């Protein structure tokens, strides 16, 4: 038998034994991520060892073992995730993304001094559309590199934030902040409402951007205006984002003014429902928690920011037991000081063990749920994102698992929450599009953005008279 004939027969035998390796027929996929440990965050599917995810267009079309997916689908591109974790992208349920340009401007201060002496003056003297654009570029860059695929924002010039977020390829719920006093972009309430109407109409139905209205808080927006904001949200079928029960001073202010807790007051005027995303929620009563659950309002828990500003520790275990959907958020980088969801997961799990004096409270899997599927429920988007399931948006990340701080590996949930860092994220796919590959962000010019951020640092310092 000749050498060529032996080689030909060997190929025939291999095809017979492993037909999926030569599957030129079969259903088409645009991209297959294969070979990793697939952490689906779907209770029915759980963890799939040597798994795979098939993507067509913007959506996941199949999740299973590598052998199952290889036998059924063919794709022009296959990403090898062997030795890594494949999981849903992380969801940051509350931030003020352009405030990355105020990162480290003032730390270790009481909240009133931090706001009145530094943040409000810095915003008044520096925040314009270009500031917001560059801050969004920097924030998106940081979040992409850390595996965040969706974020919820409250700030100004949200049209500019939407444009830059879409350009970066990220998914976001973007709430234009409205207040009873002049803001950097809109100087009157009526101007702000007109802005939101235009913003909502422009972006409603976009593949990545969900427009929202964001009345700042019950102590900065009147009852009449809060009702108007909610009416606008209902009319345009968009989310409503608001800070609620963030610190003890707010509780006293609302109690003195309206004779009720912030949650009870907002419920009484019809603001809490299944389109509401309530940020912080540090000081709810047991009655408040029952109200949040019955009204199906989502909550964004920001443990690191709340700790740094000494606002308190939200009663997350009680909220979860009552059926409140709670996600994790970083808050703005001026009060955190980063946008790492890995740190929020780790902190949330440990903080509530300490507060409750119970090490079984908020285990690693629950913390990961808050950054993925529970976070999706908290922002009312769980039918689209938050877990790896056929039909959902193709938002997933590949996480390296063999760094020194992850070795050895016993339990994948434990490692993802207590050991993994933002720098371990290898690849990011959002809406079926490759956004970061092998740690290289493909949609944002990293060098240009960092350089511009340092220029803004010098500008902000000068505007505040800082050395």
Considering the domain architecture, whether residues 74 and 210 belong to the same structural domain is answered as: no
Which DSSP symbol is given to 89?
P
Same domain, 219 and 278: yes
Which tokens is 466 given? 């800082």
353-396: pLDDT as tens digits = 999 999 999 999 999 999 999 999 999 999 999 999 999 999 99
Same domain, 397 and 357: no
Contacts of 375 (CB under 8 A, 6+ apart): 90, 91, 92, 93, 327, 328, 386
Reduced to 3 states (helix: H, G, I; strand: E, B; else coil), residue 150 is strand
pLDDT at 110: 81
pLDDT tens track for 173-221: 999 999 999 999 999 999 999 999 999 999 999 999 999 999 999 999 9
Say if residue 101 is in the same domain as residue 78. Answer: no
- Overall domain count for the chain: 2
Whether residue 399 lies inside any domain: the answer is yes
Model confidence at 243: pLDDT above 90: yes
Nearest Cα residue to 432 out of 377, 388, 380, 375? 388
122 and 228, same domain (yes or no): yes
Same domain, 59 and 184: no
* 118 in the same domain as 74: no
| CA distances in angstroms from 351 to 159, 301, 427, 455, listed in the order given | 36, 12, 29, 36
Report yes or no on 59 lying in a domain. yes
* Number of other residues whose CB lies within 10 A of the CB of residue 441: 19
Distance separating alpha carbons of residues 250 and 220, to the nearest angstrom: 10
132 and 155 Cβ atoms separated by less than 8 Å: yes
**Residue 91 burial by CB count (10 A; 0-12/13-18/19+): exposed, middle or buried?**
buried
Q: Which residue has the higher pLDDT, 110 or 268?
A: 268
Is residue 457 situated within a structural domain? no
Least confident window among 105-119, 216-230, 344-358, 427-441: 105-119
pLDDT at 306: 96
User: Confidence band (pLDDT; 50, 70, 90) for 22?
Assistant: very low
Q: What is the mean pLDDT of residues 13-29?
A: 57
On whether both 174 and 94 belong to a single domain, the answer is yes
**DSSP string of 282-310?**
-S--HHHHHHHHHHT-EEEE-HHHHHHTT
Q: Are residues 38 and 115 in the same domain?
A: no
pTM score over 0.75: yes
% residues pLDDT > 70 (the chain): 95
The residue range of the domain holding 174 is 90-378
**Looking at the predicted structure, is the pLDDT value of residue 42 above 80?**
yes
d(CA 343, CA 407): 19
Asked if residue 270 lies in contact with residue 224, where contact means CB atoms within 8 angstroms, the answer is: no
Query: Do 152 and 278 contact (CB within 8 A), yes or no?
Result: no
Q: What is the pLDDT of residue 109?
A: 87
**Residue that is last in its domain, among 378, 401, 427:** 378
User: Bridge-partner residues for 64, per DSSP?
Assistant: 52
Say which CATH number the domain at 271 has: 3.20.20.140
pLDDT surpassing 60 at residue 134: yes
Torsion from C-alpha of 413, 418, 424, 426, nearest 10 degrees: 20
Q: What is the CATH number of the domain that holds 32?
A: 2.30.40.10
Distance of CA 221 to the CA centre of its chain: 26
Q: With respect to residue 223, please indicate whether it lies within any of the assigned structural domains.
A: yes
| pLDDT tier for residue 9 given thresholds of 50, 70 and 90 | low
Domain co-membership, 105 together with 250: yes
């Amino acid at each position: 038998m000749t050498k060529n004939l032996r080689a030909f027969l060997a190929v025939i035998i291999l095809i017979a034994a492993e037909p999926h390796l030569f599957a030129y027929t079969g259903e088409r996929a645009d991209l297959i991520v294969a070979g990793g440990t697939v952490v689906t965050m779907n209770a029915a599917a759980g963890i799939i060892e040597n798994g795979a995810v098939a993507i067509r267009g913007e959506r996941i079309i199949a999740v299973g073992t590598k052998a199952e997916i290889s036998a059924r689908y063919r794709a022009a591109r296959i990403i090898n995730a062997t030795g890594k974790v494949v999981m849903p992208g992380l969801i940051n349920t509350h931030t003020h993304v352009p405030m990355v340009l105020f990162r480290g401007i003032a730390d270790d201060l009481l909240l009133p001094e931090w706001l009145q002496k530094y943040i409000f003056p810095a915003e008044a003297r520096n925040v314009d559309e270009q500031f917001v654009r560059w801050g969004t570029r920097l924030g998106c860059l940081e979040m992409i590199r850390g595996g965040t695929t969706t974020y919820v924002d409250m700030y100004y010039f949200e049209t500019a934030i939407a444009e830059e977020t879409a350009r970066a390829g990220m998914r976001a719920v973007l709430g234009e902040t409205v207040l009873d006093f002049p803001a950097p972009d809109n100087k009157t309430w009526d101007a702000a409402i007109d802005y939101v109407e235009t913003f909502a109409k422009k972006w409603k139905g976009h593949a990545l951007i969900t427009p929202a209205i964001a009345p700042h808080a019950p102590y900065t927006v009147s009852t009449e205006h809060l009702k108007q904001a909610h009416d606008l949200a209902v009319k345009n079928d968009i989310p409503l984002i608001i800070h609620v029960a963030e610190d003890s001073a707010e509780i006293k202010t609302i109690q003195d003014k309206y004779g009720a807790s912030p949650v009870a007051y907002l419920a009484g005027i019809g603001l809490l429902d299944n389109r509401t995303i309530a940020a912080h929620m540090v000081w709810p009563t047991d009655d408040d928690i029952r109200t949040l659950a019955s009204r199906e309002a989502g909550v964004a828990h920001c443990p690191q920011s709340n700790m740094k500003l000494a606002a308190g520790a939200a009663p997350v275990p009680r909220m979860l037991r009552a059926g409140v959907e709670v996600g994790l958020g970083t808050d703005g980088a001026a009060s955190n000081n980063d946008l790492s969801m890995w740190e929020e997961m780790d902190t949330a799990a440990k903080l509530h063990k300490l507060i409750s004096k119970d090490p079984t409270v908020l285990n690693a899997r629950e913390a990961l749920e808050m950054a993925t599927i529970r976070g999706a429920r908290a922002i009312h988007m769980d039918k689209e994102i938050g877990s790896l399931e056929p039909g959902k948006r193709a938002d997933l990340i590949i996480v390296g698992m063999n760094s020194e701080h992850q070795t050895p590996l016993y339990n994948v949930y434990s490692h993802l929450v207590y050991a993994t860092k933002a720098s371990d994220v290898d690849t990011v796919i959002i809406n079926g599009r490759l956004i970061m590959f092998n740690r290289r962000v493909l949609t944002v010019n990293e060098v240009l953005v960092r350089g511009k951020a340092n220029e803004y640092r010098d500008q902000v310092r000068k505007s505040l008279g800082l050395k």
